Chain A
Amino acid sequence: MSELRELYQEVILEHSKHPRNFREMATASRKVEGFNPLCGDHFTIYLDLKDGAINDISFQGAGCAISKASASMMTQTLKGKSASEAEAMFSKFHDLVTGHGRGEESLGKLAVFSGVSEFPLRVKCATLAWHALRAALEGKEEAVSTE
């Protein structure tokens, strides 16, 4: 039970039920879909880039609590960050959820996802939105799949 509580922390459940920045963005300069064909999770990430920085970021779609909360908290964290800062953040976040991280303080609130490392099958859920984000930052337009 404690591992489950670690995974489904209150903050994560709260974000999954009330996701932030959960909207389409008509003015988005970049837009990429991310999906997991195995479980059907499907999100679209919208980006408004200005001078190499994330001026606005939002998402839409459907998925499990982990993937939705991760997308929601990602959008909160990255608003105002530069593309390279976002990329570095993903790298640290990936280390965290795969159990390679050392509890980076710079991850801030995202540290609540540390419990994912005990559930290897859920790593794809936690990183789905991030993979779509990376593709969007790289200027790709085709959908991103976890498989």
Chain B
Amino acid sequence: MSTATKIPHAAAATATAFDVEKVRRDFPVLHQKVHGKPLVYLDNAATTQKPLSVIEAIEYYYRHDNSNIHRGVHALSERATADYEKVRAAAQRFLNARDAKEIIFVRGTTEAINLVAQSYGRKHVGPGDEVLITAMEHHSNIVPWQMLCDEKGARLRVAPINDRGELLLDEFEKLLGPKTRIAAVSHLSNALGTINPVREMTRMAHARNIPVLVDGAQAAPRLPVDVQALDCDFYAMSGHKMYGPTGIGVLYGKAELLEAMPPYQGGGDMIASVTFEKTVYNKLPYKFEAGTPNIADTIGFGAALAYLETLGLEAIERHEHDVLSYATRAIEAIPGVTIVGTASEKSGVLSFTMDGIHPHDIGTILDREGIAVRTGHHCAQPVMQRFGIPATARASFGLYNTREEVDALVAGIHKVIEVLG
């Protein structure tokens, strides 16, 4: 698939007419009251809500097609297999991967990164080698590499960020050394909202023959992603942050790398033949998909990809940018409030602290106003340490959020000041 076919013509038409009220009607969960107030859901970086099409796709599968895949000769198994593999093709299109076999289904971004660390990492990283990450990574892009480094006697290096939460690109480049075996970087920081220049970072790494894994958990639902244009070697994403179900995600890997990697888990479906003396592994992508997969949620994920494709990532990006800019202006104007993460390239995430008020208390009071935000360290404790704070309150936006909801958040913050200030 070329980039041209990846972006439907409809996207250009809907771009100017992104109808958020119409979009909101697709999400049943949004239409409820919490503590007597209309729900304002601003925890989309944790997980997104699901459109009716996703909910119905899962239900339809269980009502009509439920069966195991890749093995039955009966009608239900054929239908389930076909629908499951259609989602692989949809994910290939979504990421603009060269080949559907480069799409490995996993539980989510965490499992995708663990797969690369355990399979590619254990094969290529040895004593004295280095793995390079950045200071803004989620724990899921730190701990799997730490485990690998501990096992192999390798060293985890961390590229620093500045006070705005931007990667110091020069420092990143300097840390790409002769011992670096892989670089693993976030596309969009979950705690700060920073968008990293992953294309440029990949170019720097490739100039030294270092492969790059991109953690796309937050970027995939917010930015158009083209893995061929980025030229990254691995790209990881989670269905549940993309308006799909939990328990399904994607690891994209370049075919030549995946071909050369040992399997991650052993079991059914990942084999070509088994005797007690020798097992021949299945071809890509099945080599990495041991056991009966999460079929229903994969099909639900397919509906989520179709939903995103219909709206168009460009239109979604533009809408969310508008909401984030509006929120940033409104919240930075409130006395005593400090925004954490002020990179020039940002999307989706607005972390903040309030003078003398702990984020946990902010979260409780906002909740009573019907506003769902995340408070805490956001599974990014090193980021909190970098900014010298224990935690932040984080509003994270999705495609269905509105300026009116930002107004409710601002009113909620004033309420926090009224109660605790």
> Of the candidates A4, A62, A68, which one forms a contact with B365 in the assembled complex, judged by CB atoms under 8 Å apart?
A4
Complex-state Cα separation, A47 to B361, whole angstroms: 28
Name the interface size band of chain A. 20 to 34
Q: Is B291 an interface residue (CB 8 A)?
A: no
Most chain-B CB neighbours within 10 Å: which of A7, A13, A40, A67? A40
**Nearest Cβ on chain B to A91's Cβ, whole angstroms:** 25
B420–A40 touching, CB < 8 Å: no
Most buried by A among B361, B384, B419: B361
User: Which chain A residue has the least Cβ–Cβ distance from B358?
Assistant: A64
In the complex, the answer to whether B360 meets A8 with C-beta atoms within 8 Å is no
Q: How far is the CA of A17 from the CA of B357 in the complex (A)?
A: 9
B364 at the interface (CB under 8 A from A): yes
CA distance A61 to B12 in the complex (A): 53
Q: Provide the A31-45 mask, 1 if CB < 8 A to any CB of B, else 0.
A: 000000011111000
Main secondary structure of the interface of A (DSSP, over half): helix
Residues of B within 8 A of A67 (CB): 360
Q: Which of B358, B376, B384, B420 has the most CB of A within 10 A?
A: B358
Please tell me if the beta carbons of B377 and A119 are within 8 angstroms of each other in the complex.
no
A96 within 8 A of B: no
Question: In chain A between 35 and 69, which residues have their CB closer than 8 angstroms to a CB of chain B?
Answer: 38-42, 62-68
Tell me whether B375 is interfacial, beta carbon within 8 Å: yes
Residues of chain A within 8 A (CB-CB) of B384 are: 40
B356 is an interface residue with CB less than 8 A from chain A: yes
**Contact string against A for B residues 61-88, beta-carbon threshold 8 Å, 1 for contact and 0 otherwise:** 0000000000000000000000000000
B390 within 8 A of A: yes
Interface 1/0 per residue, A4-17 and B, CB below 8 Å: 11011000010001
CB distance from A65 to the nearest CB of B (A): 5
A41, A42, A119: the one contacting B364 at CB < 8 Å is A119
Question: Which residues from chain A contact B356 at a C-beta distance below 8 Å?
Answer: 17
Kindly supply a per-residue 1/0 record for chain B positions 368-405, scoring 1 wherever the CB is within 8 Å of any chain A CB and 0 otherwise: 10000001110001001000001100000000000000
- Tell me the minimal C-beta distance from A7 to chain B in angstroms: 7
Please determine whether B391 and A65 come into contact, CB atoms closer than 8 angstroms: no
The minimal Cβ–Cβ distance linking A146 to chain B, given in whole angstroms, is 12
Cα separation A68 to B356 with both chains bound (whole Å)? 12
Q: Which of A63-113 contact B (CB under 8 A)?
A: 63-68
In the complex, A142 has a CB within 8 A of chain B: no
- List chain A residues, Cβ under 8 A from B365: 4
Bound form: Cα–Cα A30–B390 in Å: 25
- Report the bound CA distance from A66 to B365 in whole Å: 13
**Contact residues in B for A66 (Cβ distance below 8 Å):** 360-361
Q: Complex: how many Å from CA A64 to CA B375?
A: 11
The answer to whether A62 touches B390 (Cβ under 8 A) is: yes
Residues of chain A contacted by B368 (CB below 8 angstroms): 1, 3-4
| Complex interface: chain B residues within 8 A of A63 (CB) | 358, 360, 390
A122 at the interface (CB under 8 A from B): yes
The answer, yes or no, to whether A123 is at the interface (CB within 8 Å) is no
Question: Do A4 and B391 touch across chains, with their CB atoms under 8 A apart?
Answer: no
Chain B residues with CB under 8 A of A5: 419
In the complex, which residue of chain A has the Cβ closest to the Cβ of B357?
Answer: A65
Q: Is A133 engaged at the interface, CB distance under 8 Å to the other chain? A: no
* B359 surroundings in chain A (CB, below 8 A): 39, 64
| A40 x B364 contact (CB < 8 A) | no
CB distance from A43 to the nearest CB of B (A): 11
CB distance from B15 to the nearest CB of A (A): 40
A125 within 8 A of B: yes
**Considering the chains assembled together, what is the distance between the CA atoms of A17 and B376 in angstroms?**
20
The answer on a CB contact under 8 Å between A39 and B376 is yes
The answer on a CB contact under 8 Å between A41 and B360 is yes
B377 in contact with A40 (CB, 8 Å): yes
Q: Could you list 12 A-B pairs, sorted by A, with CB under 8 Å?
A: A3-B368, A7-B364, A8-B419, A13-B420, A39-B376, A40-B384, A40-B390, A63-B358, A63-B390, A64-B359, A64-B360, A65-B357
Q: List chain A positions with a Cβ less than 8 A from chain B.
A: 1, 3-5, 7-8, 13, 17, 38-42, 62-68, 119, 121-122, 125
Beyond the given pairs A4-B364, A39-B360, 17 more chain A to chain B contacts, judged by CB atoms under 8 angstroms and listed by A's residue number, are A4-B419, A7-B364, A8-B361, A8-B419, A13-B420, A39-B359, A40-B384, A40-B390, A63-B390, A64-B358, A64-B359, A64-B361, A66-B360, A66-B361, A121-B364, A122-B364, A125-B360
